[in-house]
Amino acid sequence: MAAAQVQPQHQELVKKLQTEREQLQILTKEFQKFVSTRQQFDAQLNENELVLSEFKRLKKNSEVYKLVGPVLVKQEVPEAISTVKKRITFIKGELERCDKNITDSEGKQTKCRETLIKVQQELQEKMQAQQPPATK
């Protein structure tokens, strides 16, 4: 649909169509950001679960060190396990939040696509109604 073919009375629909396309692009970028954030949290969760499994393999007299800036500081094993478990709980909460954002974003995109299709169909119908019938 070229803009030159559009009648002046259809300009409002064309503008609405462009607005909906722009909105869909914004929603798509937002969705991609949510998915990327979720992937980062998922990687962090896997890493922390791996650390927790390594803690379970430690011997009774093992020592654990925590990196604080450029220095390794000795940390008690139960304290380290507790810290990792809290981190895992936090990350799982963030994953749930990300999943909710992704679901909401998918719903917004679906509604926007539906609106976009309706506007396109309405514009096509009005343009077809304006065309003179073809002669044979």
Query: What pTM was computed for the model?
Result: 0.77
What's the pLDDT score for residue 7?
A: 65
Q: Is 30 within 8 Å of 98 (Cβ atoms)?
A: no
Tokens found for residue 18: 């462009």
**pLDDT for the residue 136:** 58
* Residue listed under structure tokens 């343009």: 127
Quote the pLDDT of residue 125. 85
At residue 12, the pLDDT reads: 86
CA–CA separation, 68 and 76 (whole Å): 15
**Beta-carbon contacts of residue 128 (< 8 Å; ≥ 6 apart):** none
Q: Residue 71 is encoded by which pair of tokens?
A: 């220095």
CB 109 within 8 A of CB 28: yes
Q: Name residues of the chain where pLDDT drops below 50.
A: 1-4
Token reading at 128: 């077809």
- Write out the DSSP string of 29-59: HHHHHHHHHHHHHHHHHHHHHHHHHHHHT--
